[in-house]
Structure 1
Amino acid sequence: MRILFVCTGNTCRSPMAEHIARHQLAERGLSWQVASAGLHAAPGMPMSAPAVNALVRRHVVLNAHSSRPVDEEMLASADIVLTMTAAHRSEVVRRFPHMAHKVHVLGAFAAGAAPDEPLRDIRQYDLADPFGFSDDRYELCAKALEGSIEQMLSRLSTQEADVPEQSVSDAGNEPPRPGEHGEDDGLEMEGHNDGG
């Protein structure tokens, strides 16, 4: 399973999500791949200091982070793309309409919202950008991410168990005929407002 988190600048929300997801995956004994990117990211920027601090307080192991703009190759390599807001999802789909089937708002997906739920309803799941605010705002962001990611991983784990030989992005396709097996695509993944 390959998960890509997307925000604005890839310095706050999406890298926090990437690290928290990796931490929770390790606790679950899962070796899924996680990465992050930003819709308007300036390449090579580090994670913001308050975001790092919020992760350290949670004993999350930190990996070197360098921001990067989202591109088609990243999206194609992911089984599921999780954005921080409905606006992020809309922009990803506008730029890469053929990827729409795998792009979801993290909070909405975690809560089990229907894929065709109206945009005005999906916005209730938006995760506000903490960039430029106090450490308290980053704490709230990290706490929200922890809850959403835990729910999301549980949902994906259940889907994988239901369709063990298909990727989640293929789960809506016609099932294999008797005697055939769905196969993984074998693609590999690589990890201002302006924050993230």
Structure 2
Amino acid sequence: MKILMVCLGNICRSPLAEGILKNKVKQHKLDWQVDSAGTGAYHVGQQPDPRSQAVAKKYGLDISIQRARQFRASDFDEFDLVFAMDRSNQGNILALATTQEQREKVHLILEFTGAADHNVPDPYWDDNGFEQVYQMLDQACSLLPGIVEERVSH
């Protein structure tokens, strides 16, 4: 199973989601690969935002080796599932899809959590938002192994 996490710049939300899910995959001993990307090219090649790194480190995760990259249409061929952090980025991803099969790979990360709002807020402009984003993503990533395994078995 190959999973891609996607936000806007690939420095705040999606690197956290990648790091959190990689940790869950390791805990569950799953044969999954996890990566992240951004729909924009603003930060290509950069490390995750220092605030994302700090909140990850607080929970024992090191995401400092990650580097931002931009989502590309070929990601549809490489990944089984693509999780967008919000509806705006989901729309940007879907705009690159050319088949129904590609569109069916794209989901909002929070759609399986029961949350009323399926958007993970962008904490870039709010220093205090990183903890909330971490908690939202941790909850979603805790559910993903069971949800994905259930979907694959049907």
TM-score when normalising by structure 1: 0.72
CA-atom RMSD in angstroms: 1.7
The corresponding residue for 2:133 is 141
Conservation of the 8 A alpha-carbon contact between 2:16 and 2:63: no
Letter in 2 for 1:74: D
1:43-192, aligned counterparts within 5 Å? 43-62=44-63, 64-98=65-99, 99-108=102-111, 110-111=112-113, 124-134=117-127, 136-160=128-152, 162-163=153-154
Letter in 2 for 1:7: C
What is the count of residue pairs matched by the alignment?
151
3-state DSSP class of the match of 1:6?
Answer: strand
What is the deviation of 1:16?
A: 0.6
Letter in 2 for 1:149: C
What is the deviation of 1:61?
A: 3.6
Structure 1 moving runs of 4+ over 4 Å:
none
Task: Choose 1 or 2 for highest CA Rg.
Answer: 1
Residues 102 and 112 (structure 1 numbering): CA distance in 2 closer, same or farther, change over 3 Å?
Answer: farther
Letter in 1 for 2:143: Q
What is the deviation of 1:149?
A: 1.0
Task: Describe the superposition over 1:109-136 as per-residue Cα deviations: whole angstroms up to 9, x where unpaired.
Answer: x2379xxxxxxx8xx21000000211x3
Structure 1: 5+ residue stretches without partners: 114-120, 164-196
Measured in 1, the distance between the counterparts of 2:11 and 2:41 equals 8
TM-score when normalising by structure 2: 0.91
Task: Describe the superposition over 1:28-84 as per-residue Cα deviations: whole angstroms up to 9, x where unpaired.
Answer: 111200000000033211100000001001111435111111001222110010000
Q: Identity of paired residues, percent? A: 24
What is the deviation of 1:146?
A: 0.2
Measured in 2, the distance between the counterparts of 1:45 and 1:75 equals 23
Structure 2: 5+ residue stretches without partners: none
The corresponding residue for 2:3 is 3
Conservation of the 8 A alpha-carbon contact between 2:53 and 2:62: no
The corresponding residue for 1:25 is 25
Task: Considering Cα pairs closer than 8 Å and 6+ residues apart, tell me whether 1 or 2 has the greater RCO.
Answer: 1
The corresponding residue for 1:180 is none
Letter in 1 for 2:113: A
Conservation of the 8 A alpha-carbon contact between 2:53 and 2:64: no
